[in-house]
Amino acid sequence: MKYRLILVMVASNAIANAQDTWSGEVIFDVNPMHVRAGQWDYIPHTITYKTDGKDWCIQEEGTSFERIWFGEHEAKAYRILFHFLGHAVELEEACGAMETAVFNWGAIPCPWIADAHLGLMVEDGPVSYILEERSSRSVKRSEWRSKDFDKPKGYEPIDRAGLAALLQSLGQPQN
């Protein structure tokens, strides 16, 4: 009987912890730091963050090319999908130190930084920007489709050097 009680307590604790993880969607406005938004065409105007409590997806809007970020909370890496001028590439990046910041809408994904003075911040290549929450809504885990957190097909893996070379070649005039 004692073992059954312990098993029930452990199972109840696991279910309660799983249910405490927030699932939903948050829309952020982007405020670049130290640059004007027009100086960098890849700085998004808005960001939509979606999570089912385990996986997350970040979609950028207002850039000259599409970027979608995919990851899993507590993972060691995440993926950034780039789609521009007929190219569809996937860059895998390592997570830095794990952030423990939790907002009313849940834990932040690993590419983001919680700064006590600035709030929620992203360091993106040569620029940094602050995310200001516009709206949030909870979504039941059962309402997410399985493909909401799956990488779309057709993206080719690339490393940082390959991505830099591709971007540079696209900026070169054609003879």
**In sequence order, what are the beta bridge partners of 27?**
48, 135
Compare 123 and 137 and report the one with higher pLDDT: 137
**Strand, helix or coil for residue 162:** helix
Q: What is the pLDDT of residues 25-68, one digit of tens each?
A: 999 999 988 876 556 677 889 999 999 999 999 999 987 777 89
Q: What are the backbone dihedrals phi and psi of residue 82, each rounded to the nearest 5 degrees, phi first?
A: -110, 135
Token output for 155: 């993206």
| pLDDT category of residue 3 using cuts at 50, 70 and 90 | very low
The answer to whether the pTM exceeds 0.95 is no
**Cβ-Cβ contacts under 8 Å for 85 (sequence gap 6 or more):** 65, 170
**Cβ-Cβ contacts under 8 Å for 9 (sequence gap 6 or more):** none
CA distance 169 to 163: 10
Q: Is 152's pLDDT higher than 50?
A: yes
Question: CA-based angle 35:41:43, to the nearest 5?
Answer: 65
Task: Yes or no: say if 65 and 84 are a contact pair by the CB < 8 Å rule.
Answer: yes
